[in-house]
Structure 1
Amino acid sequence: INSGIEERYFEADNYKLAQAAVAIEARHYLQATRLEEIRLFAQEMGFDKLGIATCIGLIEEAQTVAAYLKNYFSISVINCKNGGLDKKKFSLKPISEDAAEVMCNPVGQALFLNQQNTDMNIICGLCVGHDMLFTKYSNAPVTTLIVKDRVLAHNPAAVLYSKYYRRRVLGLWK
């Protein structure tokens, strides 16, 4: 399983990313929040332009993140409803049959941030699957600040810490 792994870490881009990650962990272990670690990592990498791909439902949070990061970087923010793509055009089931519904557009988010020549992109609450499409089409490395979880206030790890959820959702420890 380890055959060829070490060589991959010595590839220029991979080595620089790994080196920065280890440096931030070593210098700021148990001291920096994830948001601060993202800033520190981007600074360690020498990045100038950061992109934020956000769910429209988390636009206020993304704007707060952008306001913080604008003190250090040039920031581009794009929400998931960009492009106004109608779900019906793609034969996708809407949440409500009563109204036209714009689908999320993670490919459009990635292409927009590619046009902005971002050095690194940050996901703020994209849906499962949409995060994968965004990452697939992003030219820049991608990290996640907020993971969408509509039930647990965007804290999916909470399901692991609650006996109720372990029983009800995971079917564990009955």
Structure 2
Amino acid sequence: MKCAVCEKKECYEGKDCTGLADSVLDEYSDDELRGLDAAASLEAQGYMKLTRLEEVMAFARNMGYKRLGLAFCIGLEDAAGIIEGILSAEFEVYSVCCKVCGLSKDELGLSGFEGGSISSCNPVGQALILNDKKTQLNLVLGLCMGHDILFTGRSNAPVSVLAVKDRVLAHNPLGAVYSRYYRRKRFNLK
């Protein structure tokens, strides 16, 4: 598949260019269909009206979720506190900082670091703690590249990204795509 460079995008009009539509339809579980319905309802009612945070809340409401998890980077602790406060008005929220358990990079045997006092990020610990709290939806806020993947792989609850980490572009990785300067300078694209 090369959908990103397809000029027709006939799927938007309902054409199945893969021949997989029937088998894919059979793959959806009842819970997945419920989630798809909640997302479609959210899009229909909130399109261009709701922020991502408001969409998260509406989706959780539509799914009947009561317990939310927030796995966040310590560099975004201020934002995490505000987000937890907003979500806590309606949901039971458990937040877990990336440095949870205080494991050192040295004791984990991570390369490129010396002096065992540097605390490591712990995405597996974040997931295990939220699994223990039986969260129904987990949100990722600014976890490092790779740590977000480990967290998502270990989370028992579905995961959605509230914001990704981009230390260069103020947590806006699409800035590199939409900015002609970055496209030319970093990727040799026009």
Alignment check: 8 A CA contact 1:8 1:14 kept:
no
Structure with the greater alpha carbon radius of gyration: 2
Work out the number of aligned pairs and report it: 171
Residue 117 of structure 2 corresponds to 100
Aligned-pair identity in percent equals 45
Q: Secondary structure at the match of 1:139?
A: coil
Q: Secondary structure at the match of 1:152?
A: coil
Residue 14 in structure 1 maps to residue 32 in structure 2: yes
Q: d(CA) in 1 for partners of 2:152 and 2:87?
A: 21
Residue 168 of structure 2 corresponds to 151
Q: d(CA) in 2 for partners of 1:74 and 1:129?
A: 28
Structure 2: stretches of 5+ with no match in the other structure:
1-17
Supply the AA of the counterpart residue of 2:173.
P
For normalisation by structure 2, the TM-score amounts to 0.86
Please say which of residues 150-159 and 85-94 is displaced more in the overlay.
85-94
Residue 131 in structure 1 maps to residue 148 in structure 2: yes
Structure 1: stretches of 5+ with no match in the other structure:
none
Q: d(CA) in 1 for partners of 2:26 and 2:78?
A: 42
For normalisation by structure 1, the TM-score amounts to 0.94
Deviations 1:40-64 (CA, angstroms, capped at 9, x unpaired): 0000000000000000101111111
Alignment check: 8 A CA contact 2:127 2:151 kept:
yes
Picking from 111, 120, 133, the partner of 1:116 is: 133
Counterparts of 1:1-150 in structure 2 under 5 Å? Answer: 1=18, 2=20, 4-9=23-28, 11-94=29-112, 97=114, 100-150=117-167
What root-mean-square deviation, in Å, do the aligned CA atoms of Structure 1 and Structure 2 show?
Answer: 1.3
Deviations 1:66-122 (CA, angstroms, capped at 9, x unpaired): 111111100000000011111112221356x46621111000000000111101000
Query: Once superposed, which parts of structure 1, at least 4 consecutive aligned residues long, lie more than 4 Å away?
Result: none
Q: d(CA) in 1 for partners of 2:111 and 2:102?
A: 16
